[in-house]
Structure formats: C-alpha cells, structure tokens
Amino acid sequence: MLQTINGLKTEFSSKLDWLLSAVNSVKGELTSCQKRISETEEQISNAEDDVPSLHRKAESLEEQVAKLTSKLDSFENRSRRSNLRLVNLPEAAEGNDILTFLESWLPDALRLAPPASPIVVERAHRLSGPKLVNGPPRPLIMKFLSYKDKVFVQNAARQMGKILYKDRQVMLFPDISAELHKQRMRFDGVKRRLREMDVQYGIVFPVRLRVTHGGRSYFFDNPSDTENFIKDIQKK
C-alpha cells in the first residue's frame, strides 16, 4: 500500500513539475506579448502625435507646389508676351519661307498703315502634331521681334473683326498657356452678356476683365463681381 502511495506521489510530482514548467513558459510568453503590446502602443501613440505635424508639413508642401506652379505659369506666359497664335490658316499656305509670308501677308490682311519701321517676325512655326487630312489646320505661332509690333497687330486684328486669307476666315489670338486660358474662360459667360448689351470689354494680363461703360473703365478679378456690375447697369 505504501509503495503504491509513494508511486502516486512520484507520478503527481512529475506531472506537477511539468505543469509548473508549462505555466512558467506561458508566463514568459505573456510577458513577451505584454512587452510587444506596450512597444506597439508607444509606437502608435508616437505616430498619432506625428499625424498633425505630418498634416501641417503636407499642407505646407502643397502650398509651396501651388506657388511654384503659379510662378512657373507666370514665367511661361511672360515668355510668350510677344507671341500671337494664328488659327485656321490652311496648311502650307505659308510656303517655304514662313517669316517672309507673315511679314508680307499680315499688313495686307489687316490693312495696316505703314509703320515707321516694318513689322519683324522673329520666329514662327506650326504646332507639332500630325496633319489631319479632313481636320482643321494646325495653329501657327509667331513671335514678334518687338512687343510693340505684337500689340499693334493684335489691336488691328481686333478692330478688323473678320480676317480673311483668300476667302477663308482666320483668327488671331494671344498665345497663352493652357492654365491661363482655363482661368480666362471663367469670364466667358459675363463676356457673352456684355456683348449682348453692346458694352466694350477686354482682358488685362493675366486674368483681369476691363469693362468700359459710360466713359469709365472698371476692372474685375472674378465673374461674380462682373455679374453684380451688369445687374447694376441694367437697373439704370
């Protein structure tokens, strides 16, 4: 009987040792898990603390990018200030000498009085791209040697209204960037209303609308102010 009891004690002691070893192992794993959880919580807390700072940095970078983009667009448009864009001139109409063609054709087409010195076109080219068989001709960009010549030609084209190459209507526009063109398009609606009212207007570089009414000039930086001005003059 005693031998049996001693055997049970030995077996129980062995199992207890195994159980204690297993418990200690689990405790070790729990301690390790708790440590990792604490480290993770600390990292999350630090990351949460960094979020506002990162947001501020992102906003600052976005603001810098916007300013640089605006400055770059301004430089691009200023580099084009002596340019005009000729639209709808048939392909190859300029022949082999595009500069001679423009310097001869422009005064005739616009019926320009001879200036003190001849108009000089410094450079000119068609926009790159394939010639479309049944599509419109590619626009032609011309750069005048003198900014005054560009303004002279542009004003003459505006006064002329309809410009013809042979029997085909062509148009002259300022050569501006796509972004500036997009900004100016915001005024298209009010410009249409001003035309219907026979009120003179013009665009002042870069994006400002000048309206002439009652012998005075008014300047607008956004369409909503122009709308209010139109309503006011309609009431009078």
- Predicted confidence at residue 6, as pLDDT, reads 54
Class of domain 180-235: alpha beta
Which position has the higher pLDDT, 227 or 135?
227
Check residues 56 and 189 and name the one with the higher pLDDT: 189
Residue 14: pLDDT band with limits 50, 70, 90: low
| pLDDT confidence bin for 97, thresholds 50/70/90 | very high
Taking only the tens place, the pLDDT of each residue in 154-201 is 989 988 889 999 989 999 999 988 888 889 999 999 999 999 998 888
Backbone angles phi, psi at 96, to 5 degrees: -90, -15
Flag whether pLDDT at 88 surpasses 70. Answer: yes
In CATH, which superfamily holds the domain spanning 81-175?
L1 transposable element, RRM domain (3.30.70.1820)
Domain ranges within the chain, ordered by starting residue: 1-79, 81-175, 180-235
CA distance 151 to 105: 17
Question: Could you read off the pLDDT of 16-36 as tens digits, one per residue?
Answer: 566 667 667 767 777 778 888
Dihedral sign, Cα of residue 63, residue 65, residue 69, residue 75:
positive
Average pLDDT over residues 107-120: 82
pTM for the model: 0.63
94/74: higher pLDDT: 94
Q: How many CA atoms lie within 13 A of 90 on its CB side?
A: 9
- Looking at residue 101, its amino acid is F
